[in-house]
Structure 1
Amino acid sequence: MTYKPRHNGMAWGARCAGAALLLAGLGLIAWNERRVMDYTSAMTRHGAPVLDLGAGGRPTAGQYGSLTRVSGVPQIVDAPDDSEFNVHADAPILIRHVEMFQWREITVGGATHYELDWVDRPIDASNFAKPAGHVNPGAFPIQGRQFEAGEVKLGNFKLSEPILRAFPGRVTVPPNEKALPPNLAATFQRSGDTLVTSNKPANPRLGDLRISWEAVPLQSMTVLARIDGDTLVPAAEREGRDGFDVQVGERSLLDVLPALPEPPQAVLLVRLASFLLAVVGAWFLAYTSRLERDLLFAIGIGAVVVPAVAGVMWLAGDAMSASVWLLFAVLGAGLAIWRVQQRASP
């Protein structure tokens, strides 16, 4: 059967429409890959790679040294414990505060007076203007301490101590006087959320001790830090920064690192749209030839021209990406050639 060309007007209209759609597809893929390349270049200038792993990311090969954003509620694997007083907390950090009822010297407007108050450090009364009658006991028999969890995880990563110590917020941890060891139970009694040595907590005496506990609360956190195996650690300090960032709540990568360039949107969708435009364009261009209405041929042409343009653009910047694009172009060329041969067969 001999192919009969269609009316010249229809042929030229189809060709013009096909060429316009094909060029639109090529222009769209060129614009899309240029913005992806610009974003990649900006990220490279920023320094180490930044991974946005969120709550579901896991330690994998090739991540070492990269900055990452990880979020979620911390998991306490090995909780902190003040074994001396049998106080525990399901928290990253437990803090014991110790205060002593001591004399304080207060000078206002040239007038000096003295009052007894709870103070969290020993006050040397020998430096007072009038030390007589205002002598303090001296060193504390019990010291304040900070207890850190043996292991805390955020998502699937462990957190290093500097990051744990930066967690914000404090909540009161009430003691359990019934759990006190016998020697301390004979000395301390509970007063509200504290333990005191006062026989009359409302009327403490000089030298009485007051002990209380606080913990860092469990709450949703976002951490930006460097990956070291399965642990998040501070990155190298620069420009006076700590090398990491800790924020309360679920924060985006741009929230915790606003200097980063904003990533391009809908990259895959634009790539698909450019491919479809090229396929429709090839369909119209072939509409007045022996390959009219051959969808596979149009797909093959679309798969040649769009990946070829993208592959050439990536050659100078990323050989791996360029290779993947050009591989698709070769496969598309193979499909188009096969369809031409099939339609040419008697």
Structure 2
Amino acid sequence: MSDRFTETTSTSWFSRITGAVGGIVTGFLLVIVACGALFWNEGRAVKTERALNEGAGAVVSVDPSRPDPANDGRLVHISGPVKVGAPPADPLFSGLALPDNTIRLVRHVEMYQWKEESQRETKNKIGGGTEKVTTYSYTREWSSGPIDSSNFKKPEGHANPDFAIAQNSATSESAAIGGFQFAGRTLAGLGTAEHLPPNDTVVAELKQFLGDSFNVQTSAGALYVGANPAAPAIGDLKTTLTASVAGEASVVGMQQGDRLKDYRASNGNTIFLTAAGEKTAADMFESAKSANTTMTWIIRAAGTLAILLGFRMMFSIIDVLGDVIPFIGDVFRFATGLASLALTFVLAPLVMSIAWIAYRPVLGLTILIAGLLIAALFLYIGKSWASAKRMEATV
């Protein structure tokens, strides 16, 4: 079920010019920040890779059953079954029957709520002004996070209540692999998730907590608070309980007695690796290197996109000036879009290559040359398009 609300607003050409002037400053700052992030990211990637290479060459695999004092201060790798200390507890459900070796207990709560979505259509008008038509639609859906209905464009009739039950996650205070001791949270994410069906005791505990005004029942393996699971109403709740059961695990860290801690490489980066199952040290370091590569490319892509957005904001005043005649504005937008792409593919590779040249000159120069070639291609496309338009105008 959904309903809609439409709002139409107009913006004068002068107001758009004022906003575009502010966009120049904002865009310039965005480009500066993005360049700084790209430069930092390249240094981070190289330092992380070098630390991992150093660690892979220094690590030794040891028998976890009895920590050897001779290995104190060394980077060691252990692997074996995890033994959990006292199991975690949910303060709301003391009657839960937990599987053996449960290391984490999660209470996940969803509420049926109103959600606002908006679609905007902007039209340019003669004289440079714009008309914006915004359509707000309201739908009902299950969400694990609170949706603040007070910020809705039309909050009347779309109010969301507060969560009567909070999310909760608890971990065992301690766990061990052989003779090595760990805080439970260190290994909690390596277990296998098991759904816990609610029993009569759990239902009774939730009824006692909520009071008589709430209807509590079970539905599809979850605790349901509401009248009818088949026809949910705003404010209805679903609560599921999940246990994470510890099995085999592998850890790489610096040995100190019966503990493993962060190992500091010669460049200052720290190494502490964990993995589910029995993994070799070589496999764990390869996984860490792969994760470092993935993170590096994510930051590269985000930084490059931010630079492009910054240039578009800086050139937006040209688009607004052209919008006095809508057709001219479209031409200007195409031209400034190509210019933004060209500048982005010059600046982003330039920043990355400068950072890389200090560490890997060949790769840094390759990135720089590739960026210049891409930028030249966009400039050539733009020049060809402009020439074609001039020829059309003279015909």
Find the counterpart in structure 2 of residue 18 from structure 1. Answer: none
Residue 53 (str. 1) matches residue 62 (str. 2): yes
Code of the aligned partner of 2:179:
N
Deviation at 1:148, TM superposition (A): 0.5
The number of aligned residues is 215
Find the counterpart in structure 2 of residue 164 from structure 1. Answer: 187
Code of the aligned partner of 1:173:
L
Deviations 1:261-311 (A, max 9, x none): xxxxxxxxxxxxxxxxxxxxxxxxxxxxxxxxxxxxxxxxxxxxxxxxxxx
Take 1:238 and 1:44, find their aligned partners in 2: how far apart are those partners?
A: 11
Q: How does 1:275-286 map to 2 (within 5 A)?
A: none
Deviates more, 1:181-190 or 1:205-214: 181-190
Find the counterpart in structure 1 of residue 85 from structure 2. Answer: 77
Indicate if the aligned counterparts of 2:175 and 2:184 stay in contact, CA closer than 8 A. no
Deviations 1:1-47 (A, max 9, x none): xxxxxxxxxxxxxxxxxxxxxxxxxxxxxxxxxxxxxxxxxx99659
| Partner SS, residue 210 of structure 1 | strand
Deviation at 1:207, TM superposition (A): 1.3
Take 1:241 and 1:101, find their aligned partners in 2: how far apart are those partners?
A: 45
Structure 2 residue runs of 5 or longer lacking an equivalent are 1-51, 121-133, 288-395
Aligned CA-pair RMSD: 3.3
Indicate if the aligned counterparts of 1:48 and 1:65 stay in contact, CA closer than 8 A. no
User: CA separation of 1:120/1:252 partners in 2, compared to 1, >3 Å: closer, same or farther?
Assistant: same
Counterpart of 2:196 (choices 173, 186, 189) is: 173
Find the counterpart in structure 2 of residue 328 from structure 1. Answer: none
Deviations 1:121-151 (A, max 9, x none): 221112112211101113x232211100122
Indicate if the aligned counterparts of 1:77 and 1:151 stay in contact, CA closer than 8 A. yes
| Partner SS, residue 62 of structure 1 | helix
| Partner SS, residue 233 of structure 2 | coil
Counterpart of 2:116 (choices 105, 128, 142) is: 105
Take 2:158 and 2:269, find their aligned partners in 1: how far apart are those partners?
A: 45
| Partner SS, residue 136 of structure 1 | coil
Deviations 1:39-92 (A, max 9, x none): xxxx996599633125x4412323333222111221122111113112335322
Find the counterpart in structure 2 of residue 230 from structure 1. Answer: 258
Deviation at 1:217, TM superposition (A): 3.5
User: CA separation of 1:235/1:166 partners in 2, compared to 1, >3 Å: closer, same or farther?
Assistant: farther
Take 1:80 and 1:117, find their aligned partners in 2: how far apart are those partners?
A: 31
Counterpart of 1:125 (choices 141, 144, 149) is: 149
User: CA separation of 1:76/1:196 partners in 2, compared to 1, >3 Å: closer, same or farther?
Assistant: same
Counterpart of 2:237 (choices 196, 209, 228) is: 209
Q: Kindly name which structure, 1 or 2, has the bigger radius of gyration based on alpha carbons.
A: 1
| Partner SS, residue 227 of structure 1 | strand
Find the counterpart in structure 2 of residue 183 from structure 1. Answer: 208
Take 1:129 and 1:83, find their aligned partners in 2: how far apart are those partners?
A: 38
Indicate if the aligned counterparts of 2:192 and 2:247 stay in contact, CA closer than 8 A. no
| Partner SS, residue 104 of structure 1 | strand
Take 2:284 and 2:257, find their aligned partners in 1: how far apart are those partners?
A: 22
Deviations 1:317-336 (A, max 9, x none): xxxxxxxxxxxxxxxxxxxx
The sequence identity of aligned pairs, in percent, is 28
User: CA separation of 1:252/1:123 partners in 2, compared to 1, >3 Å: closer, same or farther?
Assistant: same
Structure 1 residue runs of 5 or longer lacking an equivalent are 1-42, 260-346
Find the counterpart in structure 1 of residue 348 from structure 2. Answer: none
Counterpart of 2:275 (choices 235, 247, 252) is: 247
Find the counterpart in structure 2 of residue 134 from structure 1. Answer: 158
Deviation at 1:243, TM superposition (A): 2.9
User: TM-score, with normalisation over the residues of structure 2?
Assistant: 0.48
Deviates more, 1:168-177 or 1:129-138: 168-177
Q: How does 1:258-337 map to 2 (within 5 A)?
A: 258=286
User: TM-score, with normalisation over the residues of structure 1?
Assistant: 0.54
Q: How does 1:12-23 map to 2 (within 5 A)?
A: none
Counterpart of 1:93 (choices 96, 99, 104) is: 104
| Partner SS, residue 257 of structure 1 | helix
Take 1:118 and 1:143, find their aligned partners in 2: how far apart are those partners?
A: 15
Residue 64 (str. 1) matches residue 72 (str. 2): yes
Indicate if the aligned counterparts of 1:172 and 1:214 stay in contact, CA closer than 8 A. yes
Indicate if the aligned counterparts of 2:188 and 2:244 stay in contact, CA closer than 8 A. no
Indicate if the aligned counterparts of 1:64 and 1:227 stay in contact, CA closer than 8 A. yes
Code of the aligned partner of 1:221:
A
Take 1:143 and 1:257, find their aligned partners in 2: how far apart are those partners?
A: 38
Deviation at 1:101, TM superposition (A): 1.4
User: CA separation of 1:177/1:244 partners in 2, compared to 1, >3 Å: closer, same or farther?
Assistant: farther
Take 1:160 and 1:222, find their aligned partners in 2: how far apart are those partners?
A: 15
| Partner SS, residue 164 of structure 1 | helix
User: CA separation of 1:241/1:143 partners in 2, compared to 1, >3 Å: closer, same or farther?
Assistant: farther
Residue 146 (str. 1) matches residue 169 (str. 2): yes
Deviation at 1:223, TM superposition (A): 1.6
Code of the aligned partner of 1:143:
A
User: CA separation of 1:231/1:45 partners in 2, compared to 1, >3 Å: closer, same or farther?
Assistant: closer
Structure with the higher fraction of residues in strand conformation: 2
Take 2:144 and 2:265, find their aligned partners in 1: how far apart are those partners?
A: 33
Code of the aligned partner of 1:175:
P
